[in-house]
Amino acid sequence: MHLSDNAQIVLQKRYYRKDENGDFIEDWAALVDRVASNIAGGDKELQEKFYALLDSGDFLPNSPTLMNAGADLQQLSACFVLPIEDSMESIFETVKNAALIHKSGGGTGFSFSRLREANARVRSTNGVSSGPISFMKVFNSATDAVKQGGTRRGANMAILSVDHPQIMDFITCKKDPNDLTNFNISVALTEAFMRAVSEDKEYDLISPHNGKVAGQLSASKVFELIVEMAHKNGEPGIVFLDRINQVNPTPALGEIESTNPCGEQPLLPNEACNLGSINLAALATEDDLNWARLKEVVRDSVDFLDCVIDQSKYPLETIAEMSRSNRKIGLGVMGWADLLYQLKIPYMSQEAVDLAERVMEYIDFEAKTRSMELALQKGSFPNFPESIYAQGELNREGKYCDWAKLARDIQQNGLRNATLTTIAPTGTISMIADTSSGVEPQFSLVYIKSVMDTEKLLYVNKWFEAALEEWNLLTQELLEEVSQSGSVAHMSDVPGELQEIFQTAHDIDPAWHIRMQAAFQKYTDNAVSKTINFPNNARIEDIREAYLLAYRLGCKGVTVYRDGSRDNQVLSVGTGSQQKSSEERKVAPRQRPEVTHGVTQRLETGCGHMYVTINTDSQGACEAFVQMGKVGGCASAQLEAIARLASLALRSRIKIEAIIRQLKGIRCQSPMWHKGKMITSCGDAVGQALENFLSMHVNGELKSISIKAEQDSALADSKPKAQVATCPDCGSGIEHVEGCLKCPSCGWSKC
């Protein structure tokens, strides 16, 4: 496979192995050989087949397989779902297990629906529960502490049933973008709830620990809150769990309660799945798809993914047992948008939707046919007798394939894998293959992608570039113009035919996004990872209609995103007339005037007396100075750094409330009470000083302050009184004994 420069950067950053000195000991050929050899398990014929498959670029497995196959870790799956029961033992056992999975490179999904709501009685302790959201924060912190081998950050999905008594709190739990940053959240909507929405009725909330009705809510109001929050920042998503369980291949083993982090892989508790994607763009002919080659790739890919199950070392024995009992795999696609570009079919067209159905029906049919053949050779998945397939069910009605005959054949001959098809995100593997991600439209024809937090790669879509060359339009000036918005829509110097073909995500009406997702979902066992893109000016009612359309068209879940509604987008483009260029978006602080006016506050901290001066100019607060007694050295430098950064933020039009949120609550080992408030650290003291400053001002003007009150306060402060510091672990008072601060309650010591 030819590797682009960008693909090489990604491979070197994340996939190629290095020696102890950090030097590369792999290139593409060595990586492919390592993976093919390992997955083949010593079978030379299989090894040659897998090598050819991977090296062609027509198929690539999920990242853990590329990274870990043939390495010490040997954990090859991307998707896991872990159970959480309503007990402290279960919760923290799952925290531990999730950490092990994140360490191995996997993502985890959880249903928090079994946890009793906040303030519900806990009989064993005669106390009250803290509720699912508080425990989500525990999982979030644990994820922060575990980075996946320096290559992938841990990711989680949290799902809560819409009939949980704390559902309203869950819907708004990510209102602050700084909360639960390692979680995607989705609400599990039931069929009964959706009926209640359509009939504008109330529905019951069920307390999970006793099954009793805990109240009622208006279904319409709950649905509206979901829509409003999704409009605000893209979360929560929605998952139709009843619909997912209607096609659960092994219902005798239990209900599916959650999905993996991106929502495309519903799994039973303690189940895992390995994924892989076919590069459709690589299979294009001049005016069609190479169907014969597609069939060959599907069959070889099923063989590969089935072997991955046997070669994988799972992080927990319970997961290994469950995964090998059901042998679920998830074969999907990437390069869909680039295929349409080559075939000159607009994404936003019925022709594209019809082709999506045809392609996915073909892939799903051939995958199941090959899995049936593997069952004859190697045996069915162990839980096959309890599956829907043993009853002759396939839940398929197609236009091009004989599903009724295949259902009968599988009932007679067995099936190797409980699920075969999933359409997953293909972020980095599609970059290796130099093609579009999953079934998404291209985000932009010319864009920048951030990789691993800091690396930025420039992309120009190669099919767009080729078309411009064909039309004699390829110029640096045109590419620069396209880079401002990422799109050629409404560009007068680009022919209408090219505008029609080279549609990007924001050129496409959200309804067509959903139609495309539904077309692929029709022939996908699991689910489809797809973002429904909205322009920044989209209305709340637009989100509502999208959710309802997705429900009507048979999608299993929906994720929406309104452009610009979150900070730190992974993909970014210039913006032309609608947004500013990246240089223009950079913030520069305003100049400091020659003279400023301000107030100085004295605060008591665990390190001594702190004096915080906040000065103003004509536009408000503009700078802060911090001094503390006779402290020097590192502590003095840190205080100066806090003050300088706060000043820079103030003069850069950052809201003072945002600075306060960042500083308040930071804890150190020497908290202190001051005028009825606890100051938990020097940073917290600066935050409190800024908050006090706000309270002193009304409409930007300093309140008149009673001199007598201030004098009385000063006299009161001059009187000797005990300053009680508290233990950062348990909150009890701490003592200065044996030359150190110690807590007599829990044994904490500063030394």
Task: Give residue-wise pLDDT tens across range 640-659.
Answer: 889 999 998 888 878 888 89
- pLDDT grade, residue 103 (50/70/90)? confident
Give the integer Cα–Cα distance in Å for 175 and 177.
6
- Considering the domain architecture, whether residues 315 and 433 belong to the same structural domain is answered as yes
Give the integer Cα–Cα distance in Å for 146 and 154.
7
- For residue 680, what pLDDT is reported? 86
Catalytic residue among 264, 271, 361, 440: 264
CATH (domain of 568) = 3.20.70.20
- Considering the domain architecture, whether residues 579 and 620 belong to the same structural domain is answered as no
pLDDT tens per residue across span 512-546: 999 999 999 999 999 999 999 999 899 999 999 99
User: Do the domain assignments include residue 264?
Assistant: no
pLDDT tens per residue across span 319-376: 999 999 999 999 999 999 999 999 999 999 999 999 999 999 999 999 999 999 999 9
Domain boundary among 206, 223, 251: 251
- Considering the domain architecture, whether residues 424 and 378 belong to the same structural domain is answered as yes
- Domain extent for 732: 722-751
Give the integer Cα–Cα distance in Å for 499 and 325.
50
Q: Is the pLDDT of residue 554 over 50?
A: yes
- Considering the domain architecture, whether residues 420 and 500 belong to the same structural domain is answered as yes
- Considering the domain architecture, whether residues 614 and 697 belong to the same structural domain is answered as yes
46-50, 120-124, 489-493, 619-623 — which is least confidently predicted?
120-124
Other beta carbons less than 10 A from residue 750's beta carbon: 16
- Considering the domain architecture, whether residues 709 and 738 belong to the same structural domain is answered as no
Q: Per the omega criterion (within 30 degrees of 0), is the bond before 236 cis?
A: yes
User: Do the domain assignments include residue 49?
Assistant: no
User: Do the domain assignments include residue 407?
Assistant: no
- Considering the domain architecture, whether residues 680 and 699 belong to the same structural domain is answered as yes
Domain boundary among 251, 278, 296: 251
Split into its structural domains, the chain has a count of 4
- Considering the domain architecture, whether residues 691 and 575 belong to the same structural domain is answered as no
| Catalytic residue check, 568 | no
Mean local confidence (pLDDT), 693-703: 66
Length of the chain, please?
751
- pLDDT grade, residue 719 (50/70/90)? very low
User: Do the domain assignments include residue 498?
Assistant: yes
DSSP assigned state of 352 = H
Domain boundary among 220, 251, 282: 251
- Considering the domain architecture, whether residues 211 and 360 belong to the same structural domain is answered as no
| pTM metric for this prediction | 0.77
Give the integer Cα–Cα distance in Å for 95 and 136.
10
Catalytic residue among 79, 173, 262, 743: 262
- Considering the domain architecture, whether residues 187 and 287 belong to the same structural domain is answered as no
- Considering the domain architecture, whether residues 582 and 615 belong to the same structural domain is answered as no
Q: Is the pLDDT of residue 274 over 90?
A: yes
Contact 274, 314 (CB under 8 A): no
- Considering the domain architecture, whether residues 750 and 694 belong to the same structural domain is answered as no
Strand 237-239 and strand 557-562: pairing? antiparallel
Q: Per the omega criterion (within 30 degrees of 0), is the bond before 64 cis?
A: no
User: Do the domain assignments include residue 228?
Assistant: yes
User: Do the domain assignments include residue 668?
Assistant: yes
Catalytic residue among 184, 260, 417, 526: 260
| Catalytic residue check, 260 | yes
| Catalytic residue check, 182 | no
Other beta carbons less than 10 A from residue 709's beta carbon: 9
User: Do the domain assignments include residue 131?
Assistant: yes
Mean local confidence (pLDDT), 430-451: 86
User: Do the domain assignments include residue 538?
Assistant: no
